[in-house]
Structure 1
């Protein structure tokens, strides 16, 4: 019997590890999928949300599905969704932020040297839109929980610091998307206290070893 994408995510152990946001990793994945559904995104983008950090990301490396499984994931959720999730996982986020100012037809990102040798990844306009849609949904789903606590690994030494993480980039992405994404951004950030609205952390700090042994799934 073939598993659904949701069953697969559960079967590989995402319910056994805590995500940065404090939720179980699997719960966070499903919540991002739900946000994208609420925004009216199509099923492929919703599935990209469900798998958005399945290979590990610049900001979360405590769970990493092996890249050897990419063909399996493509068969499960489709090439479009898998490519979006793959990009979200491997990218150097500063290169995403930089390409926000590029003109239509000229968007690209670089992979991080530690996962894909810093490979240059050109994006079509539709691939770029998919990526920023999923990337913004991921952050908006968790930022309030992140901001409620300390996360020294990300340079957030006191509650509230997370609000400033790549603030300009996330706002720019939300404005580029407009509609439900921008409304959600405004709704979420309306809860930010005035005393943190000056904070700006423009890059993701290099993560040390995971707090708990990461799950590297073949």
Structure 2
């Protein structure tokens, strides 16, 4: 059987995500499934739930220990559907600074840019695609921020416990406000647990990561 004939849930197990440690200290596969569960709780529908499961399938600006080749995009579309794959693709390849910059753009004017290492091209988003992207991107962060903040991660510029709370603080708050509803409720619940001692911390940019020397890449 071709691996792309598996269910999406079977696929993420088969490609080895359960053997890779994620930034937040849990297994990568567990984090993927947890983001999917968060989105299910928000009632966003099956397509975005699958986008959450695949949100970092090609590697992201902040996590590159697993990278499915971009040559397999058509296979992933067949597996999870075009809407879910497009959302996951944007989440993976985008320069996050360009997402943050477009949060204040008016309807119909949302544009992001891919990182230079994956082409540096412009990606124009419809209003629906923009909403999809910030929904999945916010769910991803809310699922892990408390674990990230409990440890040091010098690779991301978090040199003491608690620093992760400040990562793109303004941008995530703005995403929550734009989405409203369960997403905003979840944001408020998570950040209500932030200690007073870190609420002044703000890190606007994502440090430029170097790909691991031996990245786990599935290129069937």
Q: Which band: TM-score by shorter chain?
A: over 0.9
Q: TM-score, normalization: structure 1?
A: 0.97
Counterpart residue number, 2:9? 6
* Distance in 2 between residues matched to 1:92 and 1:206, nearest whole Å: 10
In the TM superposition, what is the alpha-carbon distance from 1:69 to its structure 2 partner?
Answer: 1.0
From 202, 205, 210, the counterpart of 2:204 = 202
From 58, 62, 75, the counterpart of 1:59 = 62
Counterpart residue number, 2:39? 36
* Distance in 1 between residues matched to 2:210 and 2:66, nearest whole Å: 14
From 131, 146, 154, the counterpart of 2:148 = 146
From 98, 104, 109, the counterpart of 1:106 = 109
* Distance in 1 between residues matched to 2:24 and 2:49, nearest whole Å: 20
- The 3-state SS of whatever aligns with 2:155 is helix
Unaligned stretches of 5+ residues in structure 2? none
1:106-144 Cα deviation digits (max 9, x unpaired): 0010000001x2100000000000000000000000000
* Distance in 1 between residues matched to 2:98 and 2:197, nearest whole Å: 29
Contact 1:153 1:208 (C-alpha < 8 Å) held by counterparts: no
Aligned pair 1:96/2:108, yes or no? no
* Distance in 2 between residues matched to 1:66 and 1:73, nearest whole Å: 10
Give the RMSD, CA atoms, in angstroms: 0.9
- The 3-state SS of whatever aligns with 1:162 is helix
Contact 1:29 1:52 (C-alpha < 8 Å) held by counterparts: yes
Counterpart residue number, 1:161? 163
In the TM superposition, what is the alpha-carbon distance from 1:208 to its structure 2 partner?
Answer: 3.2
1:173-202 Cα deviation digits (max 9, x unpaired): 000000000000011001111010000000
1:87-122 Cα deviation digits (max 9, x unpaired): 00000000000000100000010000001x210000
How many residues were matched structurally? Answer: 216
* Distance in 2 between residues matched to 1:209 and 1:25, nearest whole Å: 16
1:17-72 Cα deviation digits (max 9, x unpaired): 00001110000000000000000011000000000001000000010000111111
Counterpart residue number, 1:215? 216
Q: TM-score, normalization: structure 2?
A: 0.96
Point out 4+ residue stretches in structure 1 off by more than 4 angstroms: none
* Distance in 1 between residues matched to 2:184 and 2:150, nearest whole Å: 22
